[in-house]
Structure 1
Amino acid sequence: MSSEESKKVVSLKELKEIGVPVVSVSTLDSEFYGTITDMEVRVDKYGNRALFVRIETTNGLVVQKFTKTGIWEFMKALEQLGFSEEDSPIGYTFKWRKMLRGRMLKERWFPVELVEEKEEIAEEETEEEEVTPEEVRKEEQPQLPEMSDEAKLLYGTLMDRRVMSEGDVKNLYRDKKAYKKAVAELIDKGLIEEFKKGGKKFFRIKQ
């Protein structure tokens, strides 16, 4: 084999340097830095139009899917960071934060900060390594208590709507037992409250 031919051979080490592994969203931290490399709208396996966002992180490539309200919230998050309707976020690096969204409280990561230079990412990561356990505990967001599927459905819906009438809440469930169980559980946990207006009963997220 000549020297010219040997130059064309790519070693596994070289492939490793240019290859990017695909990372599951379930492995992501509550906050991470990532660059949007591509966005595509297509029909998912359930027949719904969805937005698929490819995000390159230090651990690999993440593909995050947004549907309906998720797409709207993703767009609003970008607008809050200064993007207009004509702008594209592709090629920009963001700080992403995990949030619970939708009726079933699904985990989604949204951009919360625009990072102009890669150096800023390195500085942030260095600072995080120096944070003491006491400081970490102070910064941790309170976790929702464990709850049944019935309670998750009601709580997630109320997170979107803020206030619901008793009739609307009952319509979420097929039987009265599930409705009563969800309401009692969330009130007992101090997550929602009941109030009356105009002789009708309503429920809302407890402040």
Structure 2
Amino acid sequence: MSLAAGIDPIAELEHELAGASPVEIIAAAQRAVRPGKLCVVSSFGTEAAALLAYVAEVDPTIPVVFLDTGWLFEETLAYRDDIAGRLGLTDVRSIRPDPAALAAQDADKDLWFSDPDACCRIRKVEPLARALGGFDAWLNGRKRYHGGGRAAIPVVERDGARLKFNPLANADREEVEGVYERLGLPRHPMAANGFASVGCMPCTSRTQSGEDIRAGRWRGQGKTECGIHTMALKG
């Protein structure tokens, strides 16, 4: 990546990767930061294995950060272990919320109902910020074809003190689906039961025919994101 005077290196990298494949984007992310300072954040949800397969193709030792919120389905936890083993991922880190924060702010475990944004903050946003403290950049699985606020995501962007790469930004649904077929990867166990997108138990529901892929997340609450992609992560 050129650092010519007057040229924003992030904008230049975005330009270089505008039409790049997922593997090319992941490889470029590795080159852009110091050795060992890149990670991938994965929910091990219904489409997560596609990004992880591309990561494994580039370097299966890239750390995988998994947010175990305390509200995940047992099927998701089992799927995490299955996919990590199949792809040969060697460094999957399960990150949990701060017990003191849970005791102080969600002792009755009903914060998801009274204040879902606060629940996401203490169970996802804050733990991820701490986990990213030792990294210069991270990869995530957002896709433009999900629509909404994700329809125009760039391939690379600044996220507070770090870079955030979106390797599947350019991919369409057919490409993502093709990864499962090409590698014979299993689907998330809940996908066959109508769950197009899987997050925490209290805030995940089945998606009806014709609905947006993320319609089952925070249904009826006017909320579409947990916060890890809508605010700069400090840590």
Q: Same fold (TM over 0.5)?
A: no
Tell me the TM-score normalized by structure 2. 0.18
Higher strand share: 1
**Structure whose CA Rg is larger:** 1
Bigger relative contact order, structure 1 or 2 (CA pairs below 8 A, ≥6 apart): 2
